[in-house]
């Protein structure tokens, strides 16, 4: 049924397994921690913010359907959504207003579909942890200049503190010098 809600927080609903929302005025939806949610139909044409953190059963098909039915999304948080893959990321081209994307703690290693589809991204977080081949951690974070205040932007390297690490490569650059073609 249609509802007039503009914001809904269903965070940490451990028994929620199926969800169908048709809300023409909804702009913000939180599904954070809905780990057993296996089926979701979201039709919110004015939605600008979706937080699906820890929605462990979020599939590529569900993400694709959501990007089509909610094309105004500006902020998409998919932290700890291990079922999302390259196929789901390709659907992000349906979100021309997407400026914040959080893919922390997913199993993604190829972000090319994101970069190809979302040239307008302002913030992009990705943490990939692999414990094979001696263990390695790759951290990619992209933050654009309007988010830095009075040149207070920093680049940090960190680990979980269990043992020392050696960085083989660390790149950072001033966006003023970036050549975009």
| Mean pLDDT in order along the chain per 10 residues (181 residues) | 80 89 95 88 96 92 96 93 88 89 80 76 56 49 47 54 63 56 53
What is the structure's pLDDT at 61?
95
Domain ranges of the chain: 7-168
Give bridge partners of residue 126 from the DSSP assignment. Answer: 103, 140
- On whether the 7-168 domain is CATH 1.20.1740, my answer is no
Estimate to the nearest angstrom the gap between the alpha carbon of 147 and the chain centroid. Answer: 18
What tokens appear for 56 in the block? 């462990």
What is the structure's pLDDT at 131?
43
What is the structure's pLDDT at 87?
86
Give bridge partners of residue 29 from the DSSP assignment. Answer: 8, 50
How many CB atoms neighbour CB 169 within 10 A?
Answer: 4
Give bridge partners of residue 30 from the DSSP assignment. Answer: 9, 51
């Amino acid at each position: 049924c249609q509802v007039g809600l503009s914001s809904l927080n269903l965070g940490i609903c451990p028994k929620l397994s199926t969800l169908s929302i048709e809300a023409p005025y909804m702009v913000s939806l939180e599904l954070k921690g809905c780990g057993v949610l296996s089926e979701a139909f979201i039709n919110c044409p004015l939605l600008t913010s979706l937080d699906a953190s820890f929605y462990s059963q979020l599939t590529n098909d569900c993400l694709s359907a959501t990007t089509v039915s909610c094309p105004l999304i500006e902020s998409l948080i998919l932290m700890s959504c291990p079922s999302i893959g390259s196929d789901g990321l390709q659907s992000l081209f349906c979100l021309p207003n997407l400026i914040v994307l959080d893919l922390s703690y997913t199993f993604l290693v190829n972000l090319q579909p994101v970069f190809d589809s979302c040239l307008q991204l302002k913030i992009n977080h990705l943490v990939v942890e692999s414990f094979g081949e001696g263990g390695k951690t790759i951290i990619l974070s992209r933050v654009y200049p309007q988010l830095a205040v009075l040149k207070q932007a920093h680049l940090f390297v960190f680990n979980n503190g269990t043992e020392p690490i050696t960085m083989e490569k660390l790149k950072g650059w001033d966006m003023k010098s970036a050549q975009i073609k």
